[in-house]
Chains A and B, each alone.
Chain A
Amino acid sequence: MKSKGTSFGEIMIVFLIISVALIVFLRITSDYLKSLVFVKEFFILNSLLQSKHQLLIAYRNKALERPFGGETIEQAIWPNFPNNFCIDFNTSTGKINVNSGSNCEFKLINGLRLKYATYTINSTSFNYYYIFSIRTYDRLRGIYSEIKNIYITKWHPAF
């Protein structure tokens, strides 16, 4: 006997095809939005990474600001960095602060804190230079940005 209607199997196949098409479309949209969020977060993480790198150089250069006489050059121009430390800039005092610690919190210039992001700086001391590595980490998304092997001399060309 010839069947006049559509079988259950046929209907299920049609639904399956429509569902797959819908899932693909939604997935494309979601991936687009995710990529935007990731690009933005990497931009922020890289900016903060560069900012910490420059603060390190500035902190080393701050040692040049000393009264002439009374100190040896070595005492004045060789700053001490702990193995793991946090570095930030205080806008009210105008000072760069270095404190021991890891997984440091970001304190932006107007007191705003980036709670989801942390950073870690490691230093290894040699006779005339330090080797630093800096990592900024987004705890919400599990992504990080990192620079390794930053060589910064303890001495300065001014001397």
Chain B
Amino acid sequence: MASSFLKNKNSYTLLEVTIVLLLLSFAILIVSQIYLNVINTSIIVNDYYQSLENVRLGTEKLWRILKYGWSFNVLNNGEGLSFQKKDCTTTTISFDSLSRILNYKEENLNPESVFDPDLVKVNRIIFATDTPNVNETYAYFQYAPKVIIIFYDLEIRSKRGVTTSLVFEQAVAPLNSTYTSNLCQR
């Protein structure tokens, strides 16, 4: 029986089996590469969502604080802003160009980063306020800035080292800019 099995001419030759295995290996390699690419892409996209969410949280926090702020002053040629919070605490937002971080600092407290430094790097930031139409300073609403514009040039990052830029603008019209007197300067 063994001899008849070995003499069976219908079986595959070694070359045929090798070619089939080779083709199968190629197919597995290609499919696994594509599958890995899909997984990688989904991880990168997930990282970007996280980074964008972090940008949204940071900008919303600034928006909310600036909306109720007083006495705004632009610092360092537009790279920072000082103001008083709703509770009249002196607060500064400043750009650290070396570490590319936007810092938020309240009086007597340690500075904290507006965005997560691992997810978002700041390439450039510009703060600007409008100028009043008259020189009168009798009432706060005559000289208070009616709008604060923040220009963001950010780099959002994925943990895999892939980056993309995000350029946008944010404007805040402070509510207190229409008060007759500055409640933080009584």
**Chain A residues at the B interface, C-beta cutoff of 8 Å:** 4, 18, 21-22, 25-26, 28-29, 32-33, 35-36, 39-40, 43-44, 47-48, 50-52, 54-55, 57-59, 61-62, 64-68, 89, 91, 93-96, 108-110, 112, 156-158
Contacts and interface: CB of A to CB of B under 8 A. Distances in A.
The SS class assigned to the B binding surface is mixed
The SS class assigned to the A binding surface is helix
Given A58-B130, A62-B130, A68-B136, 4 more contacts: A25-B31, A32-B38, A40-B48, A48-B169
B136 A67 contact: yes
B133 A66 contact: yes
Contacts of A58: 130, 146-147, 171, 173
Contacts of A47: 59, 168-170
Given A25-B35, A65-B142, A32 B169 contact: no
B128 A89 contact: yes
Interface string B15-28: 00000000000010
Contact of B173 (A61, A94, A156): A61
A36 B126 CA distance: 26
B164 to A, nearest CB: 7
A128 to B, nearest CB: 16
B178 interface: yes
A25 B34 contact: yes
B41 interface: yes
Interface in B33-59: 34-35, 37-38, 41-42, 44-45, 48-49, 52, 55-56, 59
Interface in B144-175: 146-147, 149, 151, 164, 166-173
A67 B149 contact: no
27 contacts: A25-B34, A25-B37, A33-B45, A39-B52, A48-B168, A50-B171, A51-B171, A54-B172, A58-B146, A61-B146, A61-B173, A62-B133, A64-B178, A65-B133, A65-B141, A65-B143, A66-B133, A66-B134, A89-B147, A89-B171, A91-B126, A95-B130, A108-B151, A108-B167, A157-B178, A158-B141, A158-B178
B38 A29 contact: yes
